[in-house]
Structure 1
Amino acid sequence: MTKRKPLSTIVAEGLAERIRSGAIALGAQLPTEADLCREYDVSRTVIREAVARLRSGGLIVPQQGRGMFVSEAPVPRNFSIPDEALKTLPETIALLELRLSVEVEAAGLCAERRTDCEAKTIRALMEGIDARHDDPTAVQIHYDYDFHLAVAKAAGNAFILGFLDYLRPIIVPRFQLRHIVAPELKDAYYARIHTEHEHIVDAIERGNGPAARDAMRRHLANSLERVRALALASGIAQSDVRQTLGAETPFAELMRSLTMK
């Protein structure tokens, strides 16, 4: 006799199929618990178990105070990450949090200080990077770092540019795009990133500092959520994600030099 699937599994598989088919769009909010209870005619406990399963698989991510949202780049169901790379996930998340604090202000300063020539250079670089839809197995997650450096350069603060340039060899060669993007979602992912870039560049061209800061914050926050989803799907505990950078990392050398000054 075939064993019947648990109700939570049936609900989770149904929602997962709706996400993969596009019936529930990338970035869209999941229906409320009450709505899902009515739709599937099950209890709240069943819905919570189903949602927990989707979250552990990287298909959905929480947004504090707002609810559950479909991940903009759901983690592929079958992925393999080398052990040495997997160990760097907490550091990668910490570095993205650091980038948020620096690059948001850099984007605002860029919008307020850039020359017309610099604005044209930034747009041309962005369009060139976003026109490529490389195979996710042959490109790094942070393939757009040159764009971010161009924004920092036009911010007119040599320390910001120098700091982000220092981070480049630490940040960029960490994970391939395939680790967070399923092949069938590649084009949708590149389109999403281009939209985020476009909002940043548009604000820079208009000289609108607050809008540029908001656009850069959304772009990097989305990147952070994608990597957090990867960590969750890889079984890395939240306490591990929050760990400090190890003393053996190259970044620790910079931290030591700063504290001694």
Structure 2
Amino acid sequence: MNRLAGSGIIPNLNLNGRTSMTKRKPLSTVVAESLAEKIRSGELQPGAQLPTEAELCAEYDVSRTVVREAVARLRSEGMVVPQQGRGMFVSETPSPRNFSIPDEALRTLPETIALLELRLSVEVESAGLCAERRTDKEASNIRSMMEQIDAQQADPAAVQIHYDYDFHLAIAKAARNEFIHGFLAYLGPMIVPRFQLGYVVQPALKDSYYARIHSEHKAIVDAIERQDGGKARQAMRKHLQNSLGRVRALARASGVEATDAKQKAARSLFKDMKTPASPGA
């Protein structure tokens, strides 16, 4: 029996007649590199959905575990991103070699991600409360604002990633909780000006990006109009998770590590807030 079989090592005869040992690449690496090349060559376009696990298993004649490891590697490198309930998609974030982000902006990426995670937790409930408490006039105004914002479809290089923040503030205001609205208004200047939309969306994909965002906005507004708090929360969560996913992909593609910057972000956020006085003070 050949003791090298299944070992991941194959014999290689060199010019001197000596046998050397060459270690074979793990199957997951082979699959990941093949998919990465398809992405780089344009065979898999930005925004395209990856084949299913079963399809990739059949194409490469490997197990699901191998496929999952390969896709996880691509995801860690920012080449693919998940879309909740739909699967994995080729990232729309331009490759770092195709764009330049100022160093100052790059340094704030971990902090921005931390703030977006915080924002998500608050806005999901904000949307639900809005659906349950809004007036007919407020619902109408929110739809009008959505239509106005979504119709602009500006050049990604000339608009901020969170260009729709006023739409989110209108929802928060109709939630009838001044703490929620005040908190999100406070976060706005920290989040909105940081990154151009062009950092995460290639110009050629502008139309499909705006169409998808409008679809996400519409799902939120439809639920608000139906006064369906559960669906409003679900739609808002999906919308913000997708947004957060794009910024995380940007961080991975740029080689930015989320170290202790999240803690620094929290300290920066609350440094000016006064500590409540002790009872009896």
Give the TM-score category using the shorter length: 0.7 to 0.9
Quick one: which of 61, 66, 74 aligns to 2:81?
61
Deviation at 1:102, TM superposition (A): 0.7
Structure 1 residues 203 and 62, CA gap change in structure 2 (3 angstroms): closer
Structure 1 residues 260 and 74, CA gap change in structure 2 (3 angstroms): farther
- In structure 2, the partner of 1:12 is 36
Quick one: which of 111, 127, 133 aligns to 1:113?
133
- In structure 2, the partner of 1:31 is 52
Deviation at 1:125, TM superposition (A): 0.2
Return the letter of the residue paired with 2:148.
G
- In structure 2, the partner of 1:3 is none
Q: 1:257 is paired with a residue of what secondary structure? A: coil
- In structure 1, the partner of 2:16 is none
- In structure 2, the partner of 1:164 is 184
Query: Superposition pairs for residues 109-258 of structure 1, below 5 Å?
Result: 109-238=129-258, 240=259, 243-246=262-265, 249=268, 251-254=269-272, 256-257=273-274
Query: Superposition pairs for residues 84-95 of structure 1, below 5 Å?
Result: 84-95=104-115
Residue 83 of structure 1 pairs with residue 103 of structure 2: yes
Structure number with bigger Rg: 2
The two structures have a TM-score, normalised by structure 1, of 0.82
Q: 1:243 is paired with a residue of what secondary structure? A: helix
Structure 1 residues 44 and 204, CA gap change in structure 2 (3 angstroms): closer
Q: Does the 8 Å CA contact 1:12/1:53 hold for their aligned counterparts?
A: no
The two structures have a TM-score, normalised by structure 2, of 0.77
Q: Does the 8 Å CA contact 1:104/1:213 hold for their aligned counterparts?
A: yes
- In structure 1, the partner of 2:14 is none
Structure 1 residues 84 and 252, CA gap change in structure 2 (3 angstroms): farther
- In structure 2, the partner of 1:70 is 89
Structure 1 residues 39 and 215, CA gap change in structure 2 (3 angstroms): same
Q: 1:226 is paired with a residue of what secondary structure? A: helix
Q: Structure 2: which 5+ runs fail to align?
A: 1-28
- In structure 1, the partner of 2:12 is none
Residues 207-243 of structure 1, C-alpha deviation per residue, up to 9 Å, x if partnerless? 11111011001111111111111111111235x2773
Identity %: 62
Q: Does the 8 Å CA contact 2:161/2:192 hold for their aligned counterparts?
A: yes
Structure 1 residues 161 and 184, CA gap change in structure 2 (3 angstroms): same
Deviation at 1:122, TM superposition (A): 0.2
Q: Aligned pairs, how many?
A: 246
More helix by share: 1
Q: Does the 8 Å CA contact 2:94/2:200 hold for their aligned counterparts?
A: yes
Return the letter of the residue paired with 2:235.
A
Q: Does the 8 Å CA contact 2:153/2:210 hold for their aligned counterparts?
A: yes
Looking at structure 2, the residues matched to 90 and 260 of structure 1 have their Cα atoms a distance apart, in angstroms, of 32
Structure 1 residues 47 and 110, CA gap change in structure 2 (3 angstroms): closer
Deviation at 1:135, TM superposition (A): 0.6
